[in-house]
Structure 1
Amino acid sequence: MSDFRSLHRSGAPLVLPNAWDVASARMLVRAGFVAVGTTSLGVAAANGVPDGEGATDADALRLVRRITGLPCHVTVDIERGSVGLAVAVAAAGAAGVNVEDAMGPVETQVRLIRAVKREVPELFVNARTDTHWQRAGDLGEAVRRVRAYADAGADGVFVPGLREPGDIDAVVRAVDVPVNVLHDPCGPTLAELTALGVRRVSTGSLLFRAALAATVEAARAVRDGTPVRTAGLPTYADIAATG
């Protein structure tokens, strides 16, 4: 299996699908993905706890311990994270972590990144800034933050919600580490992101939300006596074979 860092360095961006449980991770690996991330929203919602409040630490760690044996690289969304949690997921076999700042003080995130890299230097730290997530977006602030995080030792930077080509280009040019963006169905195509120099594209909670929508759609179809879409559905045997 190739080195996780090398997946960010050549060719098209690394497309990183985000799983929320063992079955989704196994199916993504079977589909040919060489790296799988976790989605904090998916893990939180699947376990009935809020996202972004540090309530998923135990669940995220339990999940990574169960999927790092798969033939793929695993990177874990640890929300705002902690050094202890980063060390624990690394010990469980994770290749990387995603740590978000939720727009807290830059200095706080810088200290966290430095501490994590000091304790587990081999762990790929993807430093996320939330300047554009659920916000109008401030490009100048995003650039300031990603530069600070890269200077602190982050292996990559992530600006979810960034979608304008000019803004993406500005962030890519601002740092010497791989830039990660969140897939946006209404944003630039993968080919356009490649041309802009983006090195990683995550799906975030998209797959989890799509799965929920498909679940409700199928249940309504059964209730209402309308056709259930079965094209492409994995069979019972397909799922059982991943166990």
Structure 2
Amino acid sequence: MTPFAALHHAPGPLLLPNAWDHASALTLAAAGFPAVGTTSLAVAAAVGLPDGAAATRDETLRLALTLGSAPFLLLSVDAEGGFSEDPDEVGEFARQLAAVGAVGINLEDGPVPVDRHAAKIAAVKRAAPGLFVNARTDTYWSGDGSGTRARLDAYQEAGADGVFVPGLTDPREIAALVRHLDVPLNVLCTPTGPGLPHLTDLGVRRVSLGSLLYRRALGAALEALDDVRAGRTPRGTTPTYAEVDALARTRAQKG
């Protein structure tokens, strides 16, 4: 079992914060998080591209190249649907991620037929056997959750190391799914869903923050601007110039 996989079986769920660039990832690692994910929405928005449209393959790989070799964090990459409908191309992308040091990949199905997404998962496991595949299904985001178990069963059989069901918030359904699965269940932290202690009791093994931190950062920027405009001192934690500059200098020294 890899160190990243082991985090899914430690006491309590793995709380996985999601970064969008070098500075955000290193800041999260410095705060004590052993593993950091990326968030496709933020990676796309930061460069002016749409999320979920397979438009950020190069940006995603470039970010993995920047972060994957950092010795103090384990990196899991949000790869949308693999940036291709060809399973072999998805497998090759996964191989490239593993080659630059990523330890996990998040693959979403969206409207893709279950057999096609299962084929992508199998191709990733062939191309990069050590990469932790977190297979996401959007059955709760795009509908009422119908077909969730059938999809997850197929993804487990294809070799997924964990499964991700964003939009699933009902405690009874979460607990039932945990009992049904043979692999760790990942859910998304949401204001309307159970909190971390409750999710722990339900048996959830991984809790992702998705784009929350990025969206909060944008909101904090607007709040700070409002404070300045009103003659108030901006609230909240603000890293110093030197602290942020040191993040880039750390990378330069290691390079």
Q: Deviations over 1:84-138 (max 9, x none)?
A: 21111111110010000003100000111111101111110000000112x3422
1:114-153 correspondence runs (5 A)? 114-133=122-141, 135-138=142-145, 140-153=146-159
Task: Give, in whole Å, the separation in 1 of the partners of 2:160 and 2:111.
Answer: 17
Q: Which runs of 5 or more residues in structure 2 are unaligned?
A: 83-89, 249-255
Q: Deviations over 1:159-195 (max 9, x none)?
A: 0011000111122122100100000122111111111
1:1-243 correspondence runs (5 A)? 3-70=3-70, 71-81=72-82, 82-133=90-141, 135-138=142-145, 140-229=146-235, 231-243=236-248
Q: Deviations over 1:39-97 (max 9, x none)?
A: 00000000100000111110010001111232110000000002221111111110010
Task: Give, in whole Å, the separation in 2 of the partners of 1:109 and 1:152.
Answer: 9
Task: Give, in whole Å, the separation in 1 of the partners of 2:69 and 2:197.
Answer: 32
Secondary structure in structure 2 of the residue aligned to 1:79:
coil
Could you tell me how far 1:9 is from its partner in structure 2? 0.6
Secondary structure in structure 2 of the residue aligned to 1:241:
helix
TM-score, normalising length: structure 1:
0.95
Secondary structure in structure 1 of the residue aligned to 2:53:
coil
Secondary structure in structure 1 of the residue aligned to 2:37:
strand
Task: Give, in whole Å, the separation in 2 of the partners of 1:144 and 1:4.
Answer: 26
Report the AA paired with residue 147 of structure 1: D
Report the AA paired with residue 94 of structure 1: A
Task: Give, in whole Å, the separation in 2 of the partners of 1:52 and 1:85.
Answer: 16
TM-score, normalising length: structure 2:
0.90
The question of whether the paired residues in 1 share the 8 Å contact of 2:92 and 2:127 is answered with no
Could you tell me how far 1:232 is from its partner in structure 2? 2.3
Report the AA paired with residue 92 of structure 2: G
Aligned to 2:86: none
Q: Deviations over 1:6-60 (max 9, x none)?
A: 0001211000000001110010011000000000000000010000011111001
Task: Give, in whole Å, the separation in 2 of the partners of 1:54 and 1:92.
Answer: 20
The question of whether the paired residues in 1 share the 8 Å contact of 2:69 and 2:100 is answered with no
The question of whether the paired residues in 1 share the 8 Å contact of 2:91 and 2:126 is answered with no
Decide which moves more: 10-19 or 218-227: 218-227
For these two proteins, the number of residue pairs brought into alignment is 239
The question of whether the paired residues in 2 share the 8 Å contact of 1:78 and 1:85 is answered with no
Structure 1 stretches (4+) deviating beyond 6 angstroms? none
